Amino acid sequence: MKKILEKFRYRKVILAAADAFIIATAALITNFVLSAFDKDISGKTLTVSIVMSVVSCGICLLAFGAYSKLWRYFNKKDYLSCVYGVLAGMSIACLFFGVMIENVPVIYAVIHFLISVIGICVFRFIFKQTFIELIDCGIKESEYKRTMMIGGGQACKMLLKEIKNAKQSTAGNSSALFDPVCIIDDDKSKIGTEVNGVTVVGTTADIQKYADEKKIEQIIFAIPSCLEEERQRILDICSKTNLPIKIIPFLGNLIFDNNNSTLLGQVRDIKVEDLLGRDPITFDNKEIKNFISGKVCMVTGGGGSIGSELVRQIAKYSPKQIIIVDIYENNAYDIQQELTMEYGDSLDLVTLIASVRDYYRMNQIFIKYKPQIVFHAAAHKHVPLMEVSPMEAIKNNVVGTFNTATLAQFHDVEKFVMISTDKAVNPTNVMGASKRCCEMIVQYLAQQHEGITEFVTTRFGNVLGSNGSVIPLFKRQIEQGKPVTVTHPDIIRYFMTIPEAVSLVMEAASIAKGGEIFVLDMGQPVRIVALAENLIRMYGKVPYKDVEIKFTGLRPGEKIKEELLMNEEGLQKTGNKLIFIGKQIEIDEHTFASRLQTLCDAAQQNNEELAISALHDMVPTFVTPEEFNKKVLVNV
């Protein structure tokens, strides 16, 4: 009894008091009506009847759950609980009254019951509507975004239900600020029908029409199972409306757990990755686990965007130990703390501050920790900066790779995985040429067949969200109200996500036999200006009107178009249909060693003229950007 009373809080007290008043008033009204026909009951009998009806109905309403749900959530089923509660209460009161005092006229009991039920249900309905209107008054009308739903299937149905519930629950809930106005669906049989009170008005061809006609303020893409090609087609249409777009993730990415139990909670802003034009790449986790599990893994440049993701993914596969090597202490500290918080003492993690340029320091690390797998991600990657400081690109990329790779061979590392870039193919800048030198170093060591180390190179294009990616720059420019800067209207690039890039590295390492260059099929290249336009639209702005796009001219060493293969390289398939092996170009070992020595000596002496000349000797495909871009633009 005590527990029941504790649960019977103020809200329930208000409802119970209102019900008691309605039942008592209904009795008086009933008796007044019956007095016109001389069928009323005496004052004393009426008083006892009212008391007994109020008590018995109150108990029965409680028993039938009429007070167990918040009135703002009341639906048809909950109103029935009121009907059953009053019916049971009246029946008990009449039975008890008839046994103890005298029989109550049937007509009195029936009318009393009907007026009480109607009064109680109407009171709840009015109270519910009043509450909702009070909430609405607390939120500015402009904060409700008129929303178009794309897709009228099950996800849309669930989402609309959650939006309705969220809107009624609390004024401070941002997810309640959707105002679903219409639904778009390519199933023409659905047009004119309603989904949870919202009308399906047309197909995807009508998106622009109804966005204007209905004064839509935002769009929710509610087709999580949509195929990628169709997804891209629809999102392209949506982006042309210049409205903010939110999206439900792929079905496989939906998570329903204690922290994220609703579909509404997973609606997110559209990401540029959603418009890449291909499915997310999947990899053989079993193969990778067999490769990593129980091994000592070292990642140079382990604090960078690629290196840190490598460390995260390696940690998932139960390595014996992970060694992070990085010259930049802040990044190294960040990834160290992240992994320590996630894994605690279950992960043997060593974080070392060291430069791959320092042969003796790196040798100490190899002697002490005896890594079995080395992922070499340390490199200078910013093209314009390396054009200004070419010696640093050669020292860090070329010398650093030679130090790390030769030490790996000397210390019998099982596999050495070098992370390269598409800028190494027919390079037009020092950074790209230096990375091509790194590829040649790895192949040179693989050709020697000395020791047990298997050398492998992975090559891919631009990585979304990495340090130096255009996406973070574009976002900052849009958010700060500044023009978005694109170097050239015809510039195109291949893109992939950081997890995809790292998964490529991991799988390549697991299947490598030594000497390969692994290349990822990255789909169709993306025009940077189109990327900028779409990103601006995703912010709900109009390109060239709300946000200016300024063409600044190609930067030093920049290509119009990147490539993934050199002319001499062919492609060989692997077990993964999106990963290929580029045929290596044979390295003349004697000539290569001599030229490499000349290049490294010139860099150490900071003799820029001699170093650049040596770089051209080592990489015959290294041409000026003007020469390369002129050929590309002729063919555009």
Please report where in the chains the tokens 């960040």 appear, as a residue: 334
Read off the tokens for 494. Answer: 């291949």
CA distance 83 to 352: 73
Cβ atoms of 603 and 391 within 8 Å: the answer is yes
Which ranges in 344-469 belong to alpha helices (H)? 359-369, 383-388, 390-393, 400-410, 430-448
Cα–Cα distance, 58 to 383 (Å, whole number): 78
Cα–Cα distance for residue pair 144/180, rounded to 1 Å: 9
Give residue-wise pLDDT tens across range 274-332: 555 555 555 567 888 899 999 999 999 999 988 998 999 999 999 999 999 999 999 99
Count CA atoms within 13 Å of residue 568 on its CB side. Answer: 9
Q: Report whether 351 contacts 339 (CB < 8 A).
A: no
- What 3-state DSSP class applies to 60? helix
State in Å, rounded, how far the first CA of the chain is from the last one. 83
Point out which residues pair with 199 in neighbouring strands. Answer: 194
Question: What pLDDT sits at residue 614?
Answer: 94
Residues 6+ apart with CB under 8 A from 618: 433, 437, 440, 592, 595, 596, 599
DSSP conformation class of 183: E
Question: What percentage of the chain exceeds 90 in pLDDT?
Answer: 33
Q: How many CB atoms lie within 10 A of CB 142?
A: 8
Q: What's the confidence (pLDDT) of residue 255?
A: 41
Spatial CB neighbours of 442, under 8 Å, sequence gap ≥ 6: 401, 405, 416, 418, 455, 456, 457
The DSSP annotation for 105-124 comes to: PHHHHHHHHHHHHHHHHHHH
Angle at 475 between CA 392 and CA 159, to 5 degrees: 135
Tens of pLDDT, residue by residue over 110-122, are 888 888 888 888 8
The CA distance from 378 to 363, in Å, is 16
Please report, as a single letter, which amino acid is at residue 493. R
pLDDT at 532: 85
Q: Is the pLDDT of residue 21 over 70?
A: yes
Residues with catalytic roles = 423
Sign of CA dihedral 555, 499, 563, 458: positive
Neighbours of 481 (CB within 10 A): 9
Alpha-carbon distance of 562 to 425, in angstroms, equals 8
Helix, strand, coil tally for the chain in percent (to 5): 55, 15, 30
Q: What digits encode the pLDDT tens for the residues 230-250?
A: 877 888 888 788 788 888 765
Tokens 């802040």 belong to which residue? 330
Is the separation of the CB atoms in 214 and 148 below 8 Å? yes
Say what the pTM is.
Answer: 0.62
> 264 or 238, which is more confident?
238
Q: What distance in Å separates the CA atoms of residue 156 and residue 197, rounded to the nearest whole number? A: 12
The 10s digit of each residue's pLDDT in 544-562 is 888 899 999 887 887 777 7
The pLDDT > 70 percentage for the chain reads 79
Q: How far is CA 331 from CA 50, 324, 327, 406, 476, in A?
A: 76, 10, 9, 26, 21
Query: Using the 8-state DSSP alphabet, how is residue 139 labeled?
Result: S
Alpha-carbon distance 61 to 612, whole Å? 89
Confidence of residue 107 (pLDDT cuts 50, 70, 90): confident
Helix (H, G, I), strand (E, B) or coil at 495: strand
Using DSSP bridges, classify how beta strands 198-202 and 415-421 pair: parallel, antiparallel or unpaired.
Answer: unpaired
Give CA–CA dist 281/272, Å, rounded. Answer: 16
Is pLDDT of 61 > 70?
yes
Distance from C-alpha of 616 to C-alpha of 623, rounded to nearest angstrom? 8
The secondary structure element, H or E, covering residue 503 is: helix 498-511
Across 61-65, 298-302, 430-434, 617-621, least confident range: 61-65
Strand (E) or helix (H) holding 163: helix 154-169
pLDDT (tens digit per residue) in 349-406: 999 999 999 999 999 999 999 999 999 999 998 889 999 999 999 999 999 999 999 9
CA distance 35 to 152: 57
The residue type found at 620 is P
